[in-house]
Chains A and B, each alone.
Chain A
Amino acid sequence: MTASAIGRQAAPASSIGLAKTPTGIAGFDELTGGGLPLGRAALVSGGPGAGKTLFGLEFLVRGAQDFDEPGVLLAFEESADDLVDNAASLGFDLPALEASGRLVVDAVRIDPAEFITTGDFDLEGVFIRLAAAIQQVGAKRVVLDTVEVLFAALDDEAVVRAEFSRLLRWLKDQQLTTVITGERGRDGQLTRFGIEEYVSDCVIVLDHRVRDELATRRLRIVKYRGSSHGTNEYPFLIRDRGLSVWPLTAVALTYGASEERVSLGGVGLDEMVGGGVFRGSTVLISGTAGTGKTTLAAQAADAACARGEKVLFVSFEESPAQIIRNMRSVGIDLGRWVDAGLLRLWGERATAFGLEAHLDGIEQLLDETGPSVAVLDAIGSLSHVGAGAQVSSMLARELDMLKSRGITAVITSLTHEGPGEPRDAGISSLVDTWLLLRNTESDGERNRLLFVLKSRGTAHSNQVREFLLSDDGVRLLDVVVGPSGILTGSGRARQLAESDAAAAGRGAELQRAERVYRRQAAEVEAEIVLLRERLASQREQVEGLAVEATRDGTARAAVQTSVARLREPARDRDRDDADGRDD
């Protein structure tokens, strides 16, 4: 087992070490790599109200319901009726389980005022009761709820110790997986009577503390012999569906990575992040007050609903009706998606409950809704609920929960104006895409800017964009850079007007040049015609001369002929004459 194999602790631990049996308590089995040591005893210690009894109850109920391991509860503190009520608060029906022969609840009432001890005794009575109950249902699991009551009630501590030790041996011999609860002692002792020394295999401490007026529950595994286990304190919750431990640091980063991109809606936003964000990724939209975080988030929800996907929109600041009204003003009609059953709007003041309860509430909503996109509007509100580190770890768990379910998460966070890069409750490392909204103030107006601070696995835009909340949703505008930087709002308009004017000026010059050209061209054309005509007349002259020349030639030839005839001898002349006459 290497240290790096944190996420895979479970497998080697259970194969090399102890055999384990699942408790069925959400998160606990992951934390311990399989549950409690099979056939052995585990001590669950904690102060009053820490949830020890409920831990034991759930262990038994889950065993009986889900793992075919009937159980026996020997309760020394609470009456059977109280136990039934307590179990009902977790959604467990003890009487039904008892009736079906999978559970025995034996509430042992010990009232120290009612008895005294004299002389030698043993705890055979407990053994006999337990044995009878175990036999009755064929139990595999046993819970002894606050067995220390025995120590307090019976004078002879030495006898009780010896008997307790015998009881544990006996339970072990019977191969019973046992949970023993113990009240936390003073001075940091795990139990009042030091019974942890008898329970050597597994010790779990539950804690219920109040810090900054906020109550939180914590679970810690102090000891787990033969098994690796998470050593941190883990928050846990008592919910109406049982306990829940949040073992964040023990959970491996195993969620899948989708290549599919989903649109965030609006105009121009998807292009900034490479055509949309990856499905199942986490998008953080942070910005100062009034920068349009909620609108962007609503836009993403709207886009998802338009694709026919289910969306959960949790707001910690506004009621559902308020959100619908406000978003309608920017042309995002969420009401129709609510009516269509695609959108679940949930408004809840984060301060209403503790962080864990909040987390649990979210999980329950996710279970009920089964969304593919979840919006958490203004996680900053949570910082009112807990101290910084707690909020961070809670948020990490929340995002983890969303990621592990493959839900695309859009969360918004309020940042405060200030220098430097914004800090966001320490969750930036958990976020895949981070959109930052910023107000710029200039020329007596405030305008909204948006830029992509990061987007994992995406060639995202490095541009700052101005974004408008128009009557039909979010519109991103291309950036306009003026002499003094980015221009927004009216500055942008002025810059655009100026460049329009400059363009218009350039147009006039062109026209003028064209006109000049055309005129010149016309002149040249006219000249060409003229020259052609002149050329043509010269040609005519030349041809005329040529004709004359030809005529002269013929005449000269005729002259020459006649001259030649004159110069011929006489004999020839007669014949020629005769010939001539004959012709």
Chain B
Amino acid sequence: MRDLDAGTTPGHEADTELDENGPPYQLRLYVAGQSPKSLRAVENLRLVCEEHLAGRYSVELVDLLENPQLARGDEIIAVPTLVRKLPHPIRRIIGDLSDTEKVLVGLQLRGEDRPGP
């Protein structure tokens, strides 16, 4: 758990400074214990955030094994699930986030970074 927290620490630090490239991103990653999928998801998220959201994101990590009641609040059915709380609307990305392209689409970062075809 501590490892995971450490992974998200840079995000937390960057939270307060807003980047002029876009709105701040508030993310929440739901996992269930330290399964390989969970670990992969955390790592993949960190990579995406650092590359595309540097300085304007925060990530909250929720382990449902420890806080099962939280699953209801964000309508979690699968893990890992990444929830984009901000900017609105809420978006959910299910899976270990291994497909970066899809993650960017899911976070609606791709359209902002590069104009669509």
Interface residues of A (CB under 8 A from B): 106, 108-110, 114-126, 128-129, 131-132, 150, 154
Contact = CB atoms under 8 A, between A and B. Distances in A.
B99 A121 contact: no
B40 interface: yes
Given A106-B72, A124-B78, A125-B76, A118 B32 contact: no
B109 interface: no
Interface stretch (B7-15, B20-28, B88-96): B88-96
Interface string B52-81: 000000000000110011011001111111
A132 B71 contact: yes
Contacts of B49: none
Contacts of A120: 37, 40, 95-96, 98
A154 B72 contact: no
B112 to A, nearest CB: 17
Given A106-B72, A128-B65, A122 B37 contact: yes
5 interchain residue pairs of minimum CB distance: A115-B92, A119-B98, A119-B95, A118-B102, A125-B76
Contacts of B78: 117, 121-126, 154
Nearest to B99: A118
Given A124-B32, A125-B71, A118 B77 contact: no
Given A121-B94, A121-B96, A154-B94, A128 B68 contact: yes
Contacts of A117: 78, 93-95, 102
A114 to B, nearest CB: 5
A115 B94 contact: yes
B6 to A, nearest CB: 22
Contacts of B68: 128-129, 131-132
B71 A129 contact: yes
A119 B106 CA distance: 13
28 contacts: A108-B75, A109-B75, A110-B77, A114-B89, A115-B81, A115-B93, A115-B106, A117-B78, A117-B93, A118-B93, A118-B97, A118-B98, A118-B102, A118-B106, A119-B96, A120-B37, A120-B96, A121-B80, A121-B81, A121-B96, A122-B37, A122-B78, A123-B79, A125-B76, A128-B68, A129-B71, A129-B76, A129-B77
A116 B110 CA distance: 14
B4 interface: no
B40 A119 contact: yes
B47 interface: no
A285 to B, nearest CB: 62
A119 B77 contact: no
Contacts of B93: 115-118
Nearest to A150: B77
Contacts of A108: 75, 77
B94 A118 contact: yes
Nearest to A156: B95
Contact of A128 (B41, B64, B94, B102): B64
A125 B106 CA distance: 20
B18 interface: no
B42 interface: no
A277 B44 CA distance: 85
A338 to B, nearest CB: 56
Contacts of B98: 118-120
B77 A126 contact: yes
Nearest to A115: B92
Given A114-B91, A118-B95, 5 more contacts: A108-B77, A119-B44, A120-B98, A123-B77, A125-B30
Contacts of A126: 77-78
A569 to B, nearest CB: 183
Contacts of B103: 118
Given A121-B78, A128-B65, A114 B92 contact: yes
Contacts of A115: 81, 91-94, 106
A121 B36 CA distance: 10
Contacts of B77: 108, 110, 123, 125-126, 129, 150
Nearest to A131: B68
Contacts of A125: 30, 32, 64, 71, 76-79, 81
Contact of B69 (A109, A123, A124, A132): A132
